[in-house]
Amino acid sequence: MTAQRDSDDEYSVRGSVSHIEHWGTDPRRPATNRFATWPFARIRFADSYITISSLLGELYVTPETLISISRFGRVSWLTNGVKFVVRGHHDDVVFWAARPGRLLAELRRRGWRVTG
């Protein structure tokens, strides 16, 4: 999973995507992964957009549609990702990356609000 810098300071990396139910629907029930695309996904972003492409389609995010970006993990350190919550999108989208810390740093460097 090699990161690339494209034109206009675009950053791009391969990984995978899963869709999860919005957090908070029922606190007694853990969030469930649905529609995983391991490992066929790519995230591309610059300072004005984020695009997550996978076998499931494409999610296009702008600063106006973004609700939050945060680190997302499971029990194992091998399963760390970045969760995107977007207005108008039914599920939260998790982009699973080999180096999520690097991905979060690149998002912050381009001015995206990242929590966690």
Tokens of 80: 């760390």
Residue 70: CB atoms within 10 Å: 17
- State both tokens at 36: 């995983």
The pLDDT tens digits for 9-60 are 899 999 988 888 765 545 555 555 555 666 789 999 999 999 999 988 899 9
Summarize the chain as % helix, strand, coil (round to 5).
Answer: 10, 45, 45
Specify if 19 maps to a domain. Answer: yes
- Higher-scoring residue by pLDDT: 73, 107: 107
- How large is the greatest C-alpha to C-alpha distance in the chain, in angstroms? 45
Digit-coded pLDDT (tens) for 38-49? 678 999 999 999
Count of structural domains, the chain: 1
pLDDT grade, residue 80 (50/70/90)? confident
Asked, for residue 18, whether it belongs to a domain, the answer is yes
CATH code for the domain of 62: 2.30.29.30
pTM listed for this prediction: 0.80
Q: Please report the pLDDT score of residue 28 as a whole number.
A: 52
Which backbone phi and psi does 103 adopt, to 5 degrees? Answer: -60, -45
Residue at 116 is within a domain: no
